[in-house]
């Protein structure tokens, strides 16, 4: 007798189940249902917060703009001042001999010769002082560069450049160059700061001794 019972037929994999095919549609509906109110509410709260705090934001922007504007004005003023000094120095170098000859030509020969001799002596003195001060500043920068590099202090080249530039100033240049450098070395290590101060003091003593001879 033939078997007439029910038998299971394999399902076609190309035909997805209704629940699987409906998942993307359900997800899209959830996004549309909850995403738009969420974004709309967030935008509303941000707009309301900005409206409430508009005076504070304007005050903050103004307070931040003032230092930036002052810094910009100071930088422009410094550039203009340096440019003016450079132009005047160039004009004096180019026209100085002509002006000197014109002024001496208005004097009597004996007086003109005397003032010319005094001018040469002053020129030699100023040139010698400037060259010596420049040489000592360069030596101070090199000494600081070597000392800080050996001691392992960060940014030795930057501090050496600072010392070389500030040491060029008369009277107060050594103190202005040494104090910040020693304090920075102390922040690195107490021993390093003490050694750096000793190097500065020793160099200042040697420089003073050599300059008084």
Q: How far apart are CA 166 and CA 179, in angstroms?
A: 11
Tokens representing 37 are: 């109110």
Report the predicted TM-score, pTM, of the whole model to 2 decimal places: 0.51
pLDDT, tens digit (0-9, with 9 covering 90-100), for 44-101: 777 777 777 777 767 776 666 666 667 677 778 878 887 888 888 788 778 777 887 8
Question: What pLDDT shows up at residue 13?
Answer: 45
55 Cα distance to chain centroid: 32
Tokens 């810094």 belong to which residue?
Answer: 71
194 Cα distance to chain centroid: 28
Tokens 């005050």 belong to which residue?
Answer: 59
Question: What pLDDT shows up at residue 14?
Answer: 45
Question: What pLDDT shows up at residue 76?
Answer: 80
Report, as ranges of residue numbers, the positions in the chain whose pLDDT lies below 50. 1-20
Closest by Cα among 193, 164, 190 to 177 = 164
List the chain domain ranges. 26-106, 124-212
Q: How far apart are CA 198 and CA 202, in angstroms?
A: 6
Q: How far apart are CA 167 and CA 73, in angstroms?
A: 28
């Amino acid at each position: 007798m033939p078997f007439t019972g029910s038998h299971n037929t394999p399902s076609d994999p190309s035909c997805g189940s209704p629940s699987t095919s409906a998942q993307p549609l359900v997800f899209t509906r959830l996004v549309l249902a909850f995403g738009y109110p969420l974004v709309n509410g967030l935008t509303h709260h941000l707009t309301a917060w900005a409206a409430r705090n508009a005076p504070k934001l304007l005050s903050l922007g103004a307070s931040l703009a003032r230092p930036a504007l002052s810094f910009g004005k100071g930088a422009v003023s410094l550039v203009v001042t340096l440019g003016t000094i450079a132009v005047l120095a160039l004009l004096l170098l180019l026209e100085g001999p002509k002006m000197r000859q014109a002024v001496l030509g208005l004097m009597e020969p004996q007086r003109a010769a005397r003032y010319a001799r005094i001018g040469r002596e002053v020129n030699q003195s100023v040139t010698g002082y400037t060259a010596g001060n420049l040489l000592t500043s360069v030596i101070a920068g090199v000494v600081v560069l070597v000392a800080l590099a050996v001691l392992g202090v960060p940014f030795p080249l930057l501090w050496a450049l600072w010392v070389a530039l500030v040491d060029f100033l008369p009277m107060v240049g050594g103190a202005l160059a040494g104090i910040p450098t020693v304090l920075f070395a102390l922040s690195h290590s107490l021993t390093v700061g003490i050694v750096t101060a000793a190097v500065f003091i020793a160099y200042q003593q040697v420089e003073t001794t050599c300059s008084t001879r």
